[in-house]
Amino acid sequence: MWDGTRVDLLNDEYAIEADWSHKHYEAFGQATWYSIVTGKKPAVLLLVKDKEKEAQHIYRATAIAVRLNVTLYVEPSME
């Protein structure tokens, strides 16, 4: 993009930031910025290694997504 940043995933509807669950705060900031720059809806794709150990991150990310109206996807990592 014009400012040197890049969207992780971009489709007709969403600008999606993909990141590990422990980086959820950063992911929401980036998704919001990409949404502003592209005119697409913001979305976050959280990659999770262990749902039980990362439950607090997932809970917080869900609360943020609901409050800010950001689409949230939670997926197990392939690692």
Express each pLDDT in 8-18 by its tens digit: 999 999 999 99
Tally of domains in the chain: 1
Nearest by Cα to 50 from 16, 26, 6, 20: 20
> Does any domain span residue 38?
yes
> Does any domain span residue 20?
yes
> Does any domain span residue 22?
yes
- pLDDT for 3 equals 76
Domain housing 44: 9-76
- pLDDT for 1 equals 74
Q: Is the pLDDT of residue 77 over 80?
A: no
> Does any domain span residue 4?
no
The reported pTM is 0.91
> Does any domain span residue 45?
yes
> Does any domain span residue 33?
yes
Higher-confidence residue: 55 or 3? 55
Give the Cα separation of 78 and 64 in Å (integer): 25
Express each pLDDT in 22-32 by its tens digit: 999 999 999 99
> Does any domain span residue 50?
yes
